[in-house]
Structure 1
Amino acid sequence: MSGRALLGILIAWIGWAGGFLFLYAVQATGCRAGWNEQMLGPISLLRLLLIIATAAIVLVLFWLTAKAHRDGSTSSLAKIGVLANGAAILATMCFAGVVWLRLCA
């Protein structure tokens, strides 16, 4: 298995893990800094930042997936990579809780 094929399979999961860490770092920082109490209309600053971060993570995952599979290879590994990256993008839906869940305890 070539390094490029392995990266094509794992790139979105690596991006998902980085996005997960980033999202919780923003949440922890925002809770500590009181961003959840600063309102921008009907939404708190922290919730808005988390929604924007979630959308950015999804866009980056789509970009990473497209970049990893740009060569149009039809090999089995390329097909597995597309499916694995699609699963990582779908797993990002768990981040949607930033829309309705309580952000700070």
Structure 2
Amino acid sequence: QYAEFFVTLHGWYTDPECLYMPMEYCEHLDLGTYLRRHKSLPEDQVHDIGYQLLQGLSRMHDNGFAHRDLKPANVLIKRKPPEAWWVKLCDLGLSRRSSDASGSTTVRFTPDFMAPELI
């Protein structure tokens, strides 16, 4: 029931030098790359993408998790015919339980997309 909002991880594999994590293929790269190439989106697509992102984040929060690195590069684009957009969240490596009070003082984020309350 959550797969529609998140990129599917098909497993993981290692060799002595690397960790491999094959994921679902999203044919239109990521939102950051798309915006750099096209500069803008029509208003109806912005609405659809925003709604889908909020649905995915809502699912995470309902289950007690926070993404912690939401940025255009972590939003992968799939297109559903005819011309409708579908996006999926990826790169959940920094996500944590919202209630995690582990005492860690290390802050990890992407500076340009950091939440204002962390500044």
Q: Same fold (TM over 0.5)?
A: no
Whose strand proportion is higher, 1 or 2?
2
Report which of the two has the higher share of helix: 1
Q: Please, what TM-score do these two structures have when normalized by structure 1?
A: 0.31
Highest relative contact order (Cα 8 Å, sep 6+), 1 or 2? 1
Relative to the length of structure 2, the TM-score reads: 0.28
Structure having the higher Rg: 1
